[in-house]
Amino acid sequence: MRNPKKLSVMLIAVVLTVVLAVTLCACVTGDDLDEINSETGKVSSGNNSSNAEIVYNQYTVNTATGAPAENATSYTEVIEAVQTSVVLISISTDLNTAPSAAGAGVFYGSVEGEDASMIITCCHVVEDAAIIKVTVNDGDLDSSNDVILDATVIGMDDDQDIAVLKVAGTGYNYATCRDISASPYLLGEDATAIGNPLGAGITVTKGIISGIERSVKLDGVTMTLLQTDAAVNGGNSGGALFDSNGYLIGIVNAKTTGSAIDGVGYAIPISTAKHVADSIISTAGKPEYNGLGYIEGKIRLGVSIAQINKSTVESNFPQIGTLAPKDNEYYYYVSEVTPYGSIARSDSAGAITEGSLITGVTVDGLERRFTDAYTIETMLAEAEIGDVVTFHIITVTATSTRIFGPTTYTYTESAVDITMYQYVYGFAG
């Protein structure tokens, strides 16, 4: 790849300034905008969620059925029928500050037994929010008639980039999700994005589905996404991708950028978004997780790691000698420990830290080393909540006796027992 044509994929919430007229610049340069370099997969952002108070009760949500634009005879009539299902979202990261970022969301359904409704959006739109405001689009160009609601996070999943919000009121225009099992995506079919690009308000762009099941790496996680050439920009995140009949087919979340790149946007398939949203809603309201919903049975270690081979270990860890992995084995270098995973929540929290090398695991009495056939992901897929996994680690200590003297590296091997906990994003336990 030639360096002048830098390609990257970025999540597309938009950072707002005090004056909305200059959000075009903020969209590109704001600190809260996650940008992922396609070569390194490294993300730069600050991601610690802060949620409003949550009432501890279980939820049942009634979603829309039937044709969303049954009587429409033109494209514009389809848009008219569905556009009010999309909402504008603004967030403040501090209780005492003005809105600092914007995105969109989609009305998902009404809460049974409550005067409340649920909204689907992207996790990266709201994960840092202290205050979330939702503007309900009434279809009128006069924004003075818009209704602004307070929203509460019911739950989030950072891997699939989905969040569910709760707002007061019912009777909104709930989007109808397309049944992808009965009506699969078609390459080249019409696709319409409705969102809040650059914080400018409800905006409609039209294109096609350019690709199906695209593998895209975001924040170290490989997602399977729809690709569209409908124009999407900062602020479209969390907004809708509709088909030609007004059915919701995706939640817009990312785009590819570069000096020679145009028209490469991405959306979370509605089958994925619906599965995650339904899981979050069905598990929300449990006091042990501060009311946050989650995907049941999901386990995450809560670390940022890089798989490194023998050559990389020997190049970056001088004097490691015989402790280096074998030619066909790997270690995992820990670059960060987050507060939400099993490692941070375990009784052994603090034993595995930034800079640690994970050399293997012992599961059910069997010690395993990492190879092409057995990885951290393999271990997590086989693990169950409550399992205790022994992690074999190397701790690296560098010392020098004088300022310009030689550095001595000490490598200490140890074994750490980690309990596998239910992963609930936003819950530190």
The pLDDT tens digits of the residues spanning 378-411 come to 999 999 999 999 999 999 998 876 677 678 889 9
Mean pLDDT for the stretch of residues 118-140? 92
pLDDT band with cut points at 50, 70 and 90 for residue 45 = very low
Residues 166 and 40 in one domain: yes
SS (H, E, C) the chain: CCCCCCCEEEECCEECCCCHHHHHHHHHHCCCCCEEECCCCCECCCCCCCCCCCCCCCCCEEECCCCCCCCCCCHHHHHHHHHHHEEEEEEECCCCCCCCEEEEEEEEEEECCCCEEEEEECHHHHCCCCEEEEEECCCCCCHHHCEEEECEEEEEECCCCEEEEEEECCCCCCCCECCCCCCCCCCCCEEEEEECHHHCCCEEEEEEEEEEEEEEEECCEEEEEEEECCCCCCCCCCCEEECCCCCEEEEEEEEEECCCCCCCEEEEEHHHHHHHHHHHHHHCCCHHHCCCECCCCCCCCCEEEEEECHHHHHHHCCCCHHHCCCCCCEEEEEEEECCCCHHHHCCCCCCCCCCCEEEEEEECCEEEEECCCCCHHHHHHHCCCCCEEEEEEEEEEEEECCCCCCEEEEEEEEEEEEECCCCCCCCCC
Q: Which residue has the higher pLDDT, 31 or 303?
A: 303
Is residue 426 included in any domain, yes or no?
A: no
Clarify whether 259 is annotated catalytic: no
* pLDDT for the residue 350: 82
Report the C-alpha gap between 199 and 205 in whole angstroms: 15
* 414 phi and psi angles, rounded to 5 deg: -155, 165
Min mean pLDDT across 42-51, 227-236, 246-255, 293-302 is at: 42-51
Clarify whether 392 is annotated catalytic: no
Given 227, 259, 289, the domain boundary residue is: 289
* Model pTM score: 0.82
Burial class (CB in 10 A: 0-12, 13-18, 19+), 144: exposed
Mean pLDDT for the stretch of residues 418-425? 96
Residues 256 and 398 in one domain: no
Contacts of 373 (CB under 8 A, 6+ apart): none
Min mean pLDDT across 3-7, 217-221, 289-293 is at: 3-7
Q: 363 lies in which domain range?
A: 303-419
Residues 72 and 139 in one domain: yes
Is residue 297 included in any domain, yes or no?
A: no
Residues 266 and 355 in one domain: no
Q: Which residue has the higher pLDDT, 172 or 40?
A: 172
Given 266, 289, 312, the domain boundary residue is: 289
Residues 217 and 360 in one domain: no
Is residue 270 included in any domain, yes or no?
A: yes
User: Taking CA 307 as the corner, what is the angle to CA 305 and CA 310, rounded to the nearest 5 degrees?
Assistant: 135
Report the C-alpha gap between 117 and 169 in whole angstroms: 6
Residue % of the chain over a pLDDT of 70: 84
Domain count of the chain? 2
Q: Provide the CB-side half-sphere exposure for 71 (13 A, CA).
A: 2
Residues 92 and 216 in one domain: yes
Using the predicted structure, report yes or no on whether residue 3 has a pLDDT greater than 90.
Answer: no
Contacts of 287 (CB under 8 A, 6+ apart): 56
- Of the candidates 400, 380, 402, the one whose C-alpha atom is nearest the C-alpha of residue 389 is 380
Is residue 295 included in any domain, yes or no?
A: no
Q: Which residues pair with residue 63 across a beta bridge?
A: 109
pLDDT digits (tens, 9 = 90+) for 241-292: 999 999 999 999 998 877 667 778 999 999 999 999 999 999 998 888 999 9
Residues 340 and 251 in one domain: no
Clarify whether 34 is annotated catalytic: no
Using the predicted structure, report yes or no on whether residue 43 has a pLDDT greater than 50.
Answer: no
Residues 94 and 54 in one domain: yes
Using the predicted structure, report yes or no on whether residue 234 has a pLDDT greater than 80.
Answer: yes
Residues 116 and 199 in one domain: yes
Is residue 165 included in any domain, yes or no?
A: yes
User: CA-CA-CA-CA torsion for 75, 79, 81, 82, nearest 10 degrees?
Assistant: 140
Residues 267 and 359 in one domain: no
pLDDT digits (tens, 9 = 90+) for 92-125: 988 877 777 889 999 999 999 999 999 999 999 9
Cβ atoms within 10 A of the Cβ of 354, count? 11
Is residue 347 included in any domain, yes or no?
A: yes
pLDDT band with cut points at 50, 70 and 90 for residue 60 = confident
Residues 82 and 181 in one domain: yes
Residues 179 and 311 in one domain: no
- Of the candidates 133, 152, 157, the one whose C-alpha atom is nearest the C-alpha of residue 51 is 152
Using the predicted structure, report yes or no on whether residue 38 has a pLDDT greater than 60.
Answer: no
* pLDDT for the residue 51: 40
Given 289, 317, 351, the domain boundary residue is: 289
Report the C-alpha gap between 157 and 294 in whole angstroms: 7
Using the predicted structure, report yes or no on whether residue 141 has a pLDDT greater than 70.
Answer: no
Is residue 174 included in any domain, yes or no?
A: yes
Catalytic entry in 90, 237, 342, 356:
237
Using the predicted structure, report yes or no on whether residue 33 has a pLDDT greater than 50.
Answer: no
- The answer to whether the CB of 139 falls within 8 A of the CB of 103 is no
pLDDT band with cut points at 50, 70 and 90 for residue 233 = confident
Q: In this structure, what CATH number is given to the domain that contains residue 277?
A: 2.40.10.120
Catalytic entry in 85, 90, 117, 124:
124
Q: Which residue has the higher pLDDT, 147 or 24?
A: 147
Report the C-alpha gap between 155 and 363 in whole angstroms: 31
Catalytic entry in 161, 219, 229, 243:
161
* pLDDT for the residue 9: 66
Q: Which residue has the higher pLDDT, 141 or 360?
A: 360
Is residue 269 included in any domain, yes or no?
A: yes
Q: Which residue has the higher pLDDT, 347 or 105?
A: 105
